[in-house]
Structure 1
Amino acid sequence: MQIVAVNEHAQKRYKEFTTAIAHVNDLIVPIDKLINRMERPNARFRGWRMKRPDELKAIVKKLRNQLELLTEQAKKYEKELVSRDWRV
């Protein structure tokens, strides 16, 4: 019975991990919309500084690429876990 509990725990943890990745992916959409509505900052205002929309888009693109890589690695790891009956 202990092995079954470990297997269920591993499955639960993996599901939480993939759910977190999906949640972050879902949060990127409103960020993109916000960036698209941004205007270029006024150069005369010197109170605080904000990144330009093109810089923010580059950051989001990098985030998407890293999430894609993480998702691919997670899928490979899932195959490995399934082949070992979810034994960690």
Structure 2
Amino acid sequence: MAIASLLDPRFKLKLLEFFFPLIYGEEKAMEEVANVCKLCEDIFQEYKSRFVQQISHANTSGVSRSNHVNFGDETESLDAFFS
């Protein structure tokens, strides 16, 4: 629940800073807020390393990456849908 509220753009860290002292007491609250922040950082670093590994693997396996994307057919289909 703490991570979900941390990721909510309406609340971010303020919600934790308000409720954790009520739940854990003043002394333990800031430690728990720091634990939640550290957990989020750890999760981010894990996903970042997985992403870098995938990109590295794709580049070494001969997969060509192109920055050009053709949206021609998709755009026409989307236009037809909205019509």
Bigger-Rg structure (1/2)? 2
Q: Same fold (TM over 0.5)?
A: no
TM-score (norm 2): 0.44
TM-score (norm 1): 0.42
